[in-house]
Structure 1
């Protein structure tokens, strides 16, 4: 008799552009179909989709907020009876922790997306939310953290047993072509890709760039709540003619390949997919040594540099010689550790271990 497959429901607030959305939709598409029957449930609207889910059963609740979708989520779980439920993003994770006691035959996994204590400095989460999260997470069967810093922080805040927490880095979801070489002209080309929000540190990058004595061009890719403030800062620092802003692109590999150096100004990170992607195409990175997963990607002097302060960041920019960086060497540092097969295997091993318990 053929053994039935393990049913997994991957659940997200939306499929708009974002790290959690990309990773969970990727997992739903690529888990081993011989062992797992996967489906994707999206609380938001199908018109907001930024990622392809071809070949994966995908349902949209078309709700504006997670709160409005709770009755439909409950009905979905009751009807489909998944063996495993994997969600990502804090408020949705809290919902599933509170629902878990009503579905004793399902195992609930949450994927944390940030170093919560550090992110709290840039957001105003209510005390009620924090209280509900502590109750909810006691009912969760497993927690996936993207970095060691995240795992330590999560355990400390929620007092979750260590054996329930697993660190799994993000995979290289698309193997972009390796760039052939760095740009030939004398103008150094910098790039930053990420949400335009306070924790991403665009402000300190702009202030550093404003003091550089050499010619450069800086591309900022992304959109977010700080867009207007960032644009005001660009004008105030007289940087307008040196900067291009791209709100969104489906060709991020090509954009990264056209630049010499990726700049990361973040004060805190979860696991920076854009930094990983920059290394994939062969563009090195200079990043602040912030809490999160950046330090698990950067190999100092091989695919970039980690720095401790703005003075050290500036010093690295001033001494940067693009001709000394071999794209293939930069790429090779991340291919082995973060390749699709390796990360999928880690997730699948976690899924199988939960089914056995």
Structure 2
């Protein structure tokens, strides 16, 4: 009996350390229909760095600290496996795959972008030297590019000279449904939370400035670590709110923390598609976020699951509000659009269609 044809896909990630791209791509690779697809996951880095459990698919660790030194090994694995499709995520890895794609004419290469690239050009982390940034058009050899939001797609089309036909907008999925928080009124001491790397783009400094102007008691939990850790907490001390802050560098129980708080605060200057904000809505905690480039505006429904504000004064006014929120309505507002079944189907449809073309 002839076995059913399955599309062979190699998913490639720099690591399985904590991060949005790592979580989403590892989730997609494990959850696509195994009767239609034969997935393999290649990790450039090391197994010891894993924070995500991988089941039911082959995982290959290259044990390299840099994409550049891993390129020959990535080439060898593609050559050995002869996949129909290669899917990568994060800009410098997508660029590396664009470099390799001319050597594999029978393989389709798909990149997934994680941010609005043109808005990140001034960030310190982005400015460090990389040979991949010398390429005049870093995505030209990719067969398709997945963007997490409409803003991201428009940015790629307008600033990177990529045809619209190669761009596909697929939002991030809700990968799990934790227990929804119970409805309850605000307490006398408000409890706020932010989840995100301690880097410039995440806007922790402006949230601290805003909180320092709030004339009522509060507790503020920050989950995340990063290069600006010392500066962030020095700023909190200078503003006189250091004792109001709880810092959790890393936890596997983010949802539990979010559920215990009244509001999720996002200070970012740009977002690809804010996973932590989405997770906040999933557990029923409303959000306040700035209206910035990226996918934030595709998640927030004004007054239903939170507020989208234009400036710091507006942010402060929303912090003062004492309305009672309905956690079930907050979850439903995002579940209808971003449930995992819907998003997985969108990925599968893209993989099937790109093979037809």
Interval containing the TM-score (normalised by the shorter chain): over 0.9
With structure 1 as the length reference, what TM-score do the two structures score?
0.97
Determine the structure 2 residue equivalent to 1:119: 120
Conserved in 2, the CA contact under 8 Å of 1:44 and 1:64? yes
- 1:177-326 maps to which residues of 2 (within 5 A)? 177-182=179-184, 185-318=187-320, 320-322=321-323, 324-326=324-326
1:68, CA displacement in angstroms?
1.2
The DSSP-based 3-state class of the residue aligned with 2:261 is coil
- 1:53-72 maps to which residues of 2 (within 5 A)? 53-72=54-73
CA distance in 1, matches of 2:104, 2:292: 38
The DSSP-based 3-state class of the residue aligned with 1:34 is coil
The total of aligned residue pairs comes to 354
1:182, CA displacement in angstroms?
3.5
With structure 2 as the length reference, what TM-score do the two structures score?
0.97
Determine the structure 1 residue equivalent to 2:100: 99
CA distance in 2, matches of 1:127, 1:200: 23
The DSSP-based 3-state class of the residue aligned with 2:121 is helix
The DSSP-based 3-state class of the residue aligned with 2:88 is strand
Could you say what the CA RMSD is over the residues aligned between the two structures, in angstroms? 1.3
CA distance in 2, matches of 1:125, 1:253: 33
1:3, CA displacement in angstroms?
3.0
1:248-307 CA-to-partner distances (Å, cap 9, x unmatched) read 110111101000000000000010000000000000000000100000000001100000
Range 118-127 or range 202-211, more displaced: 118-127
The DSSP-based 3-state class of the residue aligned with 1:121 is coil
Q: Which runs of 5+ in 1 are unaligned?
A: none
The DSSP-based 3-state class of the residue aligned with 1:262 is strand
CA distance in 2, matches of 1:283, 1:184: 12
1:43-87 CA-to-partner distances (Å, cap 9, x unmatched) read 001000011111121111111111111110010000011100000
The DSSP-based 3-state class of the residue aligned with 2:119 is helix
CA distance in 2, matches of 1:131, 1:250: 37
1:238, CA displacement in angstroms?
1.2
1:124-159 CA-to-partner distances (Å, cap 9, x unmatched) read 15596444161x411110000000000010112221
Conserved in 1, the CA contact under 8 Å of 2:186 and 2:322? no
Range 80-89 or range 182-191, more displaced: 182-191
Conserved in 1, the CA contact under 8 Å of 2:146 and 2:168? yes
Range 149-158 or range 256-265, more displaced: 149-158
CA distance in 1, matches of 2:58, 2:329: 39
1:158 equivalenced with 2:191 (yes/no): no
Q: Which runs of 5+ in 2 are unaligned?
A: none
CA distance in 1, matches of 2:179, 2:88: 31
CA distance in 1, matches of 2:182, 2:56: 33
Conserved in 1, the CA contact under 8 Å of 2:192 and 2:261? yes
